[in-house]
Amino acid sequence: MAEQTTKSDSKSAMLSFKETIESLVIAFILAFIFRAFVVEAFVIPTGSMADTLRGAHFRLVCPNCSYEFNYRYPEARNGIIPREQIYIYSNGLNQEGVPARCPMCGAEIKNSKRWVSNGDRILVLKYLYQFVDPKPWDVVVFKNPSDPAAENYIKRLIGRPKETIQIQDGDVYINDQIQRKPKHVQDVLWMRTYHSDYQIPAKPDSNQIKERWTDPFRPQKTNSAWEFNPATRCFEFAGSSQPDVMSFNPERIRKFSQSFCAYNGQDFISTAITSDLKVSGLLSPAASQGSIDLLLGKYDRIYNAKINFNGQCSISEVDSQTYSIVREFASKKFPALTPGKTIRVSFEVVDHSLRLYLGKEEPLEYFGPNDPEDWGYELNLRKPQFPSIAVAGQGSAFQFKQVAVYRDVHYTNEQGPNKPGRGTQGHSFTLKEDEFFVLGDNSPKSHDSRFWDLPGKRNGGAEPYTTGVVPRDYLIGRAFFVYWPGGFHLTDWMPYAVIPNFANMRFIH
C-alpha cells in the first residue's frame, strides 16, 4: 500500500511539473505575441522630443535658486551610452562644450557633477494605425524613412495625407487654418520660465555662482501696494483704490522668448520670438470687493483678463499706457471667490486664442482671427517685438503666490542662415496620399520633416518616397506611457541609476 502511494505521489509530482512547464511556455508565447503585435518597449535615444520625452541627459539642480531641470547629453546614440563615455559631468560643459543655463534665474551652471541618466523608456501601441488613422498631435513611433531597417524615430504628428502645412510665426497652419493644440497637448508643451517659489537667497552659500537677485516682477510706481514676502514667497497686495501694476522685467522676457530651451544649454535662435505666453498662480482674496488683472502683451497689443472677486470676469484688449479697455472680447459670471480661500487662476494667449481659467470651472475663451497679421504680426519687421507680462490689483487686499510664467513651443523656420525648412513660412508643403508630416517638441534641436535631406527608401529598390514625409507603411504605433524615466543614483560615485523615478512615470500626450 505504501509503495502504491509513493508511485501515485511521484506521478502527481511529474504531472504538476509538466503543467508548470506548459504554463511557462504558454506565458512566454503570449508575452512574445503581445510584444510583437500589441505593445513594445522603446528607449528614447535623443532630445528631439524634450522636455516631453528625454534622451540621455543630466538632471541638474541650480545652486542659485534650487530649480531642477534636465540638460541633454549629446553623445548618446540609439539610446546606448558606451561604458567608456559614462563619466562625471564637470566644468559646466557637455561634450559639445555648451554650458547649462538655469531657465528660472538665468544663471550659468559651473562645476556641477552628475552622472548621465539614460533616456526615457516608453511603451508603444503597435499596429494601432492599421485600424485607425493617426490623430493630429499624436506622438508616433516610425521607421526612419532614409534608413528603415536600422533606426526608429519618435516625433509628434502634425500633417496628414493631402494636407498643406505651413509654419507661420511659430504656429502650425493646415490648409491655411491655424491648428490649435488640444488642452492635454498644450499642457505638456508649455515651458516654465519663471516660478516665484524659486528665489536666490539674499546671501548665496554656493561657491559656484554668486549673483545679486531681484524678482522679475517689479512695481511700476513708488509707494506701491505690492510687496514680495521672501519668507512665504508670496506677492502681497495691501489694497488700493486705483489700479496698481507690477510688470515683469523685459530683459528676462527677451532672454527666454528667443526660442530658448534649457535642455539645449545656452543655444537659442534670436530670430524666433515666442509671443504665446501663460501666467498663473494661487489667488487668495481677503474680502469680496476687489480685482486682479493678468496682462499679456503680444506684439503691439495688450490683452487683459480681469478677475473681479464677485465672480464677474472678462477678457479684453487694453491700451498699453492707461490700461483702459479698447475692446472687450468675452465675459462670464463665475462663482464668487470666497475670502480667505485659495483658488488657482491662469490666463494664456496661445494659438490665436485667449483663455482665462478660474479654479475648476469651464474657461472663459475667445477665439480670434486666423491670420497672424490680424494679431499684429509683421513678417519683415526690422526690430523684434517681444511679449510683455504684468499683474495689476485694485480694491481690497489679496495674496498671489506660486506665480508662474510659461512660454509655448515655437516651431522654427530655419536650420541655419538661409536654410529654410520644408513647410515653413513661404515654403508650404503639400502631402500626398499616405504621407505624414512630423515635428519634434524640441523645435530648435529637432531633425524632422522640416529638415530631412534624404528621400525615404522603399523595399526592393523601388522609386523612393518623397523627402520629408513619413510613409503610412513606416508607422509603427503611438507612444502612450513612460514606464521607466531616468532613475536616481544611490551615491555620487555609482554610475547606475537603480532607484525608480516613480514621480515621472506618466502617460504621453
Cβ(72)–Cβ(50) under 8 Å? yes
* pLDDT in the model for residue 325: 95
Which residue positions in the chain have pLDDT lower than 50? 2, 22, 26-37, 76-96, 205-210
Asked if 333 contacts 358 with a C-beta cutoff of 8 angstroms, the reply is no
Q: What is the pLDDT of residues 45-75, one digit of tens each?
A: 889 999 999 988 888 888 888 899 988 876 5
DSSP calls for 97-137: -PBEE-TTT-PEE-S---PPBPPPEEEEEETGGGTSPPPTT
In single-letter form, the type of residue at position 43 comes to V
What pLDDT score does 17 carry?
A: 55
d(CA 437, CA 433): 12
Q: What is the pLDDT of residues 362-388, one digit of tens each?
A: 999 999 999 999 999 987 777 788 999
pLDDT tens across 175-228, in order?
999 999 999 999 999 999 999 999 876 555 444 444 555 789 999 999 999 999
Give how far Cα 295 sits from Cα of 99, 280, 317, 349, 451, Å: 33, 11, 9, 10, 36
CB 109 within 8 A of CB 102: yes
Please tell me the distance from the alpha carbon of residue 79 to that of residue 55, in angstroms, as a whole number. 7
Give the pLDDT score at 99: 72
Sketch the domain layout of the chain as residue ranges. Answer: 215-248+275-407
CB 153 within 8 A of CB 110: no
For residues 154 and 52, what is the distance between their CA atoms, to the nearest angstrom?
11
How high is the pLDDT of residue 132? 92
Q: How far apart are CA 440 and CA 449, in angstroms?
A: 9
CA dist 412 and 195 (Å) reads 26
> What is the residue-wise DSSP string for 473-504?
GGEEEEEEEEEE---B-SSTT-----B--GGG
What's the topology of domain 215-248+275-407? Jelly Rolls (2.60.120)
CA distance 177 to 185: 18
